[in-house]
């Protein structure tokens, strides 16, 4: 596939670019600077673009088979930028006539019980609340875009650089945790989950939790 990867210079983005390339996809990697470190592959092109601008997104997405987002509010950006991004990406994809979107979201809106979301639990770190709330708003906006084949894929509660095992579990709208109740995934395995979903289209119109 020809994939447009928004946020390719980020922590999850770089690993997703590597996973896509290792599976034979061609990748156009977008960041504001237009540079992506540590990726040297004939099938990879780094380009500059602003994911809050629908014109930019439309121009960049045109001619690609699908868009994967690992965008986040990097630098000094306020968390609210995530809703600007999702609105611009939805509009840009419509204008470019590209309908497949795999979006990296947040775990805060996943269920940990029948009536409780992760963000509502006492253990949820206060400093993560603002970005988690905006990530839930972004999901609400995306969930209205019925004309796109979107999947909103959330990491586990904790995601860090680690190893690629290729093994992970998913759940529809639920937090994935192990027997001790720990919810974790490495960034490398999260990238595997994003690309598996891109290729399989198993969870279109789904808020997917991931973890071990
Ligand atoms: N447990 C959880 O729920 C959890 C944990 C971690 C992360 N996440 C989510 O996962 C996503 C990615 O996280 P990360 O740690 O990989 O983020 P990151 O390292 O900060 O990367 C963010 C990427 O977005 C790009 N970007 C930011 N603003 C942009 C703009 N206006 N136009 C184009 N590109 C832009 C950045 O590139 P430039 O700055 O160079 O433009 C960078 O490539 C985030 O949405 C984050 O909230 C969720």
What pLDDT is recorded for position 51? 98
Model pLDDT for residues 148-201, shown as the tens digit of each residue: 999 999 999 999 999 999 999 999 999 999 999 999 999 999 999 999 999 999
* DSSP code at position 174: B
The Cα-based distances of 111 to 102, 129, 195 in angstroms read 20, 16, 24
- Dmax (CA) for the chain in angstroms is 48
Q: Where residue 49 falls among pLDDT bands split at 50, 70, 90?
A: very high
What pLDDT is recorded for position 124? 96
CA of 129 to the centre of ligand 1 (A): 16
Q: Does the CB atom of residue 209 touch ligand 1 within 6 A?
A: no
The pTM assigned to this predicted structure is 0.98
User: Strands, E, within the chain: which ranges?
Assistant: 2-6, 26-31, 44-48, 66-69, 100-104, 149-154, 158-160, 169-172, 184-186, 206-211
What pLDDT is recorded for position 136? 98
Q: What are phi and psi of 59, to 5 degrees?
A: -60, -45
CA of 35 to the centre of ligand 1 (A): 15
What pLDDT is recorded for position 62? 98
Average pLDDT over residues 30-41: 95
Query: Would you say residue 119 has pLDDT above 90?
Result: yes
What pLDDT is recorded for position 98? 98
Q: Which residues pair with 185 in a beta bridge?
A: 159
Q: How far apart are the first and last CA of the chain?
A: 28
What pLDDT is recorded for position 201? 98
What pLDDT is recorded for position 75? 84
Cα–Cα dist 162/25, whole Å: 23
The Cα-based distances of 197 to 143, 149, 210 in angstroms read 17, 11, 11
Q: Which helix (H) or strand (E) holds 101?
A: strand 100-104
Tell me how crowded residue 40 is: count the other CB atoms within 10 A of its CB.
7
CA of 70 to the centre of ligand 1 (A): 6
Burial of 37 (0-12, 13-18, 19+ CB in 10 A): exposed
CA of 95 to the centre of ligand 1 (A): 24
Q: Whose CA is nearest to atom 8 of ligand 1?
A: 106
Cα–Cα dist 41/144, whole Å: 37
What pLDDT is recorded for position 165? 98
CB 73 within 8 A of CB 11: no
Burial of 184 (0-12, 13-18, 19+ CB in 10 A): middle
What pLDDT is recorded for position 135? 98
Domains in the chain with CATH codes? 2-211 (3.40.50.720)
Q: Whose CA is nearest to atom 13 of ligand 1?
A: 72
Model pLDDT for residues 68-111, shown as the tens digit of each residue: 999 999 888 999 999 999 999 999 999 999 999 999 999 999 99
Model pLDDT for residues 123-150, shown as the tens digit of each residue: 999 999 999 999 999 999 999 999 999 9
Q: Whose CA is nearest to atom 34 of ligand 1?
A: 31
- Give every CB contact of residue 142 below 8 A, 6+ residues apart in sequence: 86, 90, 101, 103, 150, 152
């Amino acid at each position: 596939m020809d994939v447009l990867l928004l946020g390719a210079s980020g922590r999850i983005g770089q690993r997703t670019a590597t996973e896509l390339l290792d599976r034979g996809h061609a990748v156009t990697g977008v960041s504001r600077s237009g540079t992506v470190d540590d990726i040297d592959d004939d099938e990879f092109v780094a380009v500059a673009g602003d994911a809050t601008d629908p014109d930019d997104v439309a121009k960049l997405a045109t001619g690609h088979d699908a868009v994967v987002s690992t965008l986040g509010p990097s630098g000094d950006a306020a968390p609210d930028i995530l809703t600007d991004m999702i609105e611009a990406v939805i509009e840009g994809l419509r204008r470019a006539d590209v309908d497949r979107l795999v979006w990296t979201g947040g775990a805060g809106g996943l269920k940990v019980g029948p009536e409780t979301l992760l963000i509502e639990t006492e253990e949820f770190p206060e400093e993560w609340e603002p970005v988690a709330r905006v990530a839930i708003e972004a999901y609400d906006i995306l969930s209205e875009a019925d004309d796109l084949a979107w999947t909103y894929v959330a990491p586990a509660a904790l995601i860090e650089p680690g190893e690629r095992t290729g093994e992970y579990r998913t759940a529809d709208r639920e937090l994935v945790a192990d027997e001790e109740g720990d919810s974790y995934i490495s960034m490398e395995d999260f990238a595997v989950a994003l690309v598996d979903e891109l290729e399989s289209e198993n969870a279109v119109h789904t808020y997917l939790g991931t973890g071990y």
